[in-house]
Amino acid sequence: MLEAVGASAEGATFVRLSGELGIPKSSLHGLLEVLRSREYLELDSKSRTYKLGVRVWETGFAFQSQHDALKVAQQVLQFIVTEVNETAQYAKLVGSENVYLAKVDSTHALRLQSDVGARLSAHATGVGKAILSRLPDEDVRSRFQSEKLEIFTPNTLPTISALLRDLETTRQRGFSIDNEEYTAGVFCIAVPVFDRTGGASTAISVSVPVTRATPSGLARILATLATASVRLSMSIGCNEPQHQLKLLSDPVNAALKISDYVPDKFAKN
């Protein structure tokens, strides 16, 4: 229907739409009224023609913005991989899961195996916890069906209460950690990406096999992620990215944070 209305600069009359679309007049009238009430269509009172409404423009603008963001995200992920040569991912929170929107692989034979479009439980992933950490506790609880959470490895957080404690730590330090919580042998660092509202519904991450994880390497990953997040956040309209990200983009600060939070076993790698 929107295509039929938009096909002519003059718009379309009720009679024309009924004839072109083959919709019964009673049904067509109801559909047109719904679209008009939601501002997807406008009715010219003089010519009695329907024209596209402001909501169509807004939806198109949102579509363009989202696709522009994805294009920039892909470029940012490539920047990350060029800097640290580990797999980088960009994901969005949907309910209690994170959906991977973009990914750039490292050149290592041993690397994270994942797919764009895959959905993983947010409580057990770096990107998931990075985004959840920006939400109120009540919102986090509402996304899960019970206190007990699905277990994937011995390191998976087992309950909502444990998850909320982890998220509070994540808020304070500015980045999340997946310490072999979804996949054994894989360590992940993630940071949120902020939009023009100051909120975060997406995040970027770097995953590294624990056999390659070292304090210096993880510090470089964290600083690179923070720099990338600031760049991506500003590109999608965030005027003032989180102060924590700016601090973490400094290699010295990143190294101090890593020394406080990463497992001692990595010091031996």
Contact 148, 159 (CB under 8 A): yes
Q: Does domain 64-268 have CATH number 3.30.70.360?
A: no
Worst-scoring range by mean pLDDT, 116-120, 166-170, 229-233, 252-256?
A: 116-120
| pLDDT at residue 266, as a whole number | 67
The pLDDT confidence band at residue 7, using thresholds 50, 70 and 90, is: confident
Closest by alpha carbon to 141, among 150, 131, 128, 132? 132
What pLDDT is recorded for position 26?
Answer: 85
Tell me: domain 2-52, CATH 1.20.1070.10, correct?
no
Q: What is the reported pLDDT for 170?
A: 95
pLDDT at residue 56 in the model: 80
Question: Can you say how many angstroms the Cα of residue 71 is from the centroid of all Cα atoms in its chain?
Answer: 13
- List, by residue range, all CATH 3.30.450.40 domains of the chain: 64-268
Task: Kindly write down the DSSP assignment for every residue of 60-77, as one continuous string.
Answer: HHHHHHHHHHHHHHHHHH
Query: How does residue 269 score in pLDDT terms, banded at 50, 70 and 90?
Result: low
SS3 241: coil
For residue 114, the number of C-alpha atoms closer than 13 Å in the C-beta half-sphere is 29
Q: Is the pLDDT of residue 223 over 90?
A: yes
CATH 1.10.10.10 maps onto the chain at: 2-52
Q: Which amino acid is at 90?
A: Y
Share of the chain above pLDDT 90, in %: 51
Question: pLDDT digits over 46-82, tens only?
Answer: 889 999 888 887 776 666 666 677 888 899 999 999 9
pTM tops 0.85? no
**pLDDT over 70 at 249, yes or no:** yes
- Which residues of the chain form beta strands (DSSP E)? 12-13, 41-43, 49-52, 87-94, 97-104, 119-121, 176-179, 186-193, 202-209
